[in-house]
């Protein structure tokens, strides 16, 4: 296995401490050869419960004694018959990433990323975040006894995520700017201080943990679905899941790679715009805005990778309004009992839109990735719900209300 530049294909040894290509500045990828994949699987056959570390044969770790884990992964793939019937589709599943230890898919990337931080001998880790990355990094850093710096857009991080980041003991900097600015800042900080290990998704190892979402979907369905819907923010996750499918394809576990559908919020849709215009580049959105604060991102660092995953898998990109996100969030909650945060509901909102336009047909097997738990953003959930009816406690007050 080695690091390879996504654009110019320049190669670096896997032990190299680098985030971008020294030649062209693009993102780095971890690549296994077919021979390595097969050999590793012989040494560590897939066994044990569904978890990130079930796939150790396919993960780029050099020293397994360093693994930092909270038993992440193995999230339920929930068959949603009521929601499917309501939407008029035959088979719909929600991959509920809210069931991870800190309540989002980020834990899959952080178990690997923090393990790599220890391999590199780091004592400090850092990230910029819309909230979930920081909650997850703070937890794994605490477990690994690493100092953790976090840069957040002030006033734009949901309460649950901020709560987690603080209680896990991270040093939090709230910056007067959006996520894109916070990311620029932390990149600068880590460049100036190479002792600080950067754990945003430009880190080549994090998506390697997240690719296990793809592996698990295949194992849970005993094959490939037709389509996988993924909300896009910084755009690493859709790429990572796609990568998981391509590797399972290479080792003969699946015959077909599902089509990847990337969903953004209308106020933050640089990749959807690029996809629809047929561009192989994208123009950043200046002042991104959406109720789904997790994906309130105008200049996604992994945007090019997302375009690649979508096009290669014959997928699509679509944008949804805040109103559509809220409606989908309520449907998922009230028809299926699955509580997700707004960014996660974007995947189902996208499905609703593409079913209506006829671009997805009713007989397709669809998986929507629900990336984060509803308790991440309790204020939003309360604001879109019917408020409690206040009563003084006399049973007569309930007349007509409780039948
Ligand atoms: N859904 C949730 C709940 C997220 O927190 C994020 C990203 C995404 C979807 C989008 O994933 O960035 O890989 O395209 N949250 C990051 C954070 C930006 O800082 O927590 P992506």
- Tens-level pLDDT at each residue, the chain (403 residues): 999 999 999 999 999 999 999 999 999 999 999 999 999 999 999 999 999 999 999 999 999 999 999 999 999 999 999 999 999 999 999 999 999 999 999 999 999 999 999 999 999 999 999 999 999 999 999 999 999 999 999 999 999 999 999 999 999 999 999 999 999 999 999 999 999 999 998 999 999 999 999 999 999 999 999 999 999 999 999 999 999 999 999 999 999 999 999 999 999 999 999 999 999 999 999 999 999 999 999 999 999 999 999 999 999 999 999 999 999 999 999 999 999 999 999 999 999 999 999 999 999 999 999 999 999 999 999 999 999 999 999 999 999 899 8
Residue ID of nearest Cα to ligand 1 atom 10: 233
Compute, in angstroms, the gap from residue 391 CA to the centroid of ligand 1: 40
Q: Would 362 be classed as within a structural domain?
A: yes
Alpha helices in 269-364 (DSSP H): 270-277, 303-312, 322-336, 342-356
Compute, in angstroms, the gap from residue 300 CA to the centroid of ligand 1: 10
Ligand 1 pocket test target in 103, 109, 125, 132 with most atoms within 8 Å of CB = 132
- Give the CA count within 13 Å in the CB-facing half-sphere of 38: 7
Place of tokens 């929507």: 368
Predicted TM-score of the model (pTM): 0.97
* 5/87 same-domain check: no
Compute, in angstroms, the gap from residue 388 CA to the centroid of ligand 1: 31
Q: Would 243 be classed as within a structural domain?
A: yes
- Structural domain count, the chain: 2
Q: Would 38 be classed as within a structural domain?
A: no
* 233/297 same-domain check: yes
- Per-residue model confidence (pLDDT) at position 86: 98
* 226/295 same-domain check: yes
- Choose among 90, 41, 61: nearest CA to 1: 61
- Per-residue model confidence (pLDDT) at position 265: 98
- Choose among 179, 110, 96: nearest CA to 345: 96
How far is residue 202's CA from residue 183's CA, in Å, rounded to a whole number? 10
Compute, in angstroms, the gap from residue 191 CA to the centroid of ligand 1: 23
How far is residue 278's CA from residue 218's CA, in Å, rounded to a whole number? 30
CB under 6 Å to ligand 1: residues?
Answer: 104, 106, 129-133, 201, 231-237, 294-295, 341, 343-344, 371-372
Place of tokens 């206040």: 390
- Per-residue model confidence (pLDDT) at position 201: 87
- Segments forming the whole domain that contains residue 18: 1-31
How far is residue 123's CA from residue 290's CA, in Å, rounded to a whole number? 35
* 212/268 same-domain check: yes
* 26/92 same-domain check: no
Q: Would 139 be classed as within a structural domain?
A: no
* 245/313 same-domain check: yes
Cβ atoms of 290 and 296 within 8 Å: the answer is: yes
Element (H, E) at 287: none
Q: CATH number, domain at 374? A: 3.40.50.1100
DSSP code of 308?
H
Residue ID of nearest Cα to ligand 1 atom 14: 235
How far is residue 334's CA from residue 104's CA, in Å, rounded to a whole number? 20
* 279/344 same-domain check: yes
Pairing outcome for strands 147-153 and 171-175: parallel
Place of tokens 């409690």: 388
Compute, in angstroms, the gap from residue 221 CA to the centroid of ligand 1: 25
* 15/85 same-domain check: no
How far is residue 41's CA from residue 58's CA, in Å, rounded to a whole number? 7
Compute, in angstroms, the gap from residue 132 CA to the centroid of ligand 1: 7
* 223/312 same-domain check: yes
Q: Would 269 be classed as within a structural domain?
A: yes
- Choose among 15, 12, 44: nearest CA to 28: 12
Cβ atoms of 351 and 295 within 8 Å: the answer is: no
* 81/27 same-domain check: no
- Per-residue model confidence (pLDDT) at position 403: 85
Angle between helices 34-43 and 236-250 (to 10 degrees): 80
How far is residue 263's CA from residue 272's CA, in Å, rounded to a whole number? 8
DSSP code of 27?
B
Compute, in angstroms, the gap from residue 295 CA to the centroid of ligand 1: 6
Ligand 1 pocket test target in 233, 244, 293, 349 with most atoms within 8 Å of CB = 233
Residue 355, exposed/middle/buried by CB under 10 A (0-12, 13-18, 19+)?
middle
Q: Would 247 be classed as within a structural domain?
A: yes
* 247/324 same-domain check: yes
Contacts for 339 with CB less than 8 Å, ≥ 6 apart:
98, 332, 333, 373, 374, 375, 381
Q: Would 143 be classed as within a structural domain?
A: no
Q: Would 296 be classed as within a structural domain?
A: yes
* 260/356 same-domain check: yes
């Amino acid at each position: 296995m080695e690091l390879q530049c996504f654009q110019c294909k320049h190669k670096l040894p896997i032990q190299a401490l680098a985030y971008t290509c020294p030649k062209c500045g693009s993102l780095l990828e971890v690549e296994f050869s077919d021979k390595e994949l097969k050999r590793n699987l012989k040494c560590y056959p897939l066994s044990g419960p569904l978890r990130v570390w079930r796939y150790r044969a396919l993960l780029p770790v050099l020293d397994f004694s360093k693994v930092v884990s909270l038993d992440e992964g193995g999230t339920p793939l929930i068959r949603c018959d009521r929601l499917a019937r309501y939407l008029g589709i035959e088979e719909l599943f929600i991959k509920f990433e809210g069931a991870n230890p800190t309540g989002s898919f980020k834990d899959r990337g952080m178990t690997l990323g923090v393990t790599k931080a220890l391999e590199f001998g780091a004592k400090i880790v850092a990230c910029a975040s819309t909230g979930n990355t920081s909650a997850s990094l703070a937890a794994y850093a605490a477990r690994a006894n690493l100092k953790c710096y976090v840069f957040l857009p002030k006033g734009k991080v949901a309460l649950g995520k901020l709560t987690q980041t603080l209680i896990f003991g991270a040093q939090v900097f709230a910056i007067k700017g959006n996520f894109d600015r916070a990311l620029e800042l932390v990149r600068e900080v880590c460049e100036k201080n190479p002792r600080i290990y950067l754990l945003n998704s430009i880190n080549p190892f994090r998506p390697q943990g997240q690719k296990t979402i793809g592996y698990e979907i295949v194992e849970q369905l005993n094959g490939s679905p037709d389509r996988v819907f993924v909300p896009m923010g910084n755009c690493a996750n859709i790429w990572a899941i796609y990568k998981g499918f391509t590797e399972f394809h290479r080792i003969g576990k699946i015959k077909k790679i599902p089509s990847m559908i990337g969903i953004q919020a209308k106020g933050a849709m640089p990749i959807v715009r690029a996809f629809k215009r047929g561009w192989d580049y994208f123009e950043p959105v200046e002042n991104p805005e959406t109720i789904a604060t997790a994906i309130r991102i105008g200049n996604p660092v992994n945007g090019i990778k997302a375009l690649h995953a979508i096009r290669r898998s014959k997928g699509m990109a679509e944008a949804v309004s805040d109103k559509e996100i809220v409606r989908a969030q309520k449907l998922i909650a009230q028809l299926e009992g699955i509580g997700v945060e707004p960014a996660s509901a974007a995947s189902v909102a996208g499905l609703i839109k593409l079913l209506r336009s006829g671009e997805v047909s009713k007989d397709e097997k669809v998986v929507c990735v629900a990336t984060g738990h509803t308790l991440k953003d309790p204020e939003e959930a309360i604001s879109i719900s019917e408020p409690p009816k206040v009563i003084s406690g006399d049973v007569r007050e309930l007349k007509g209300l409780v039948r």
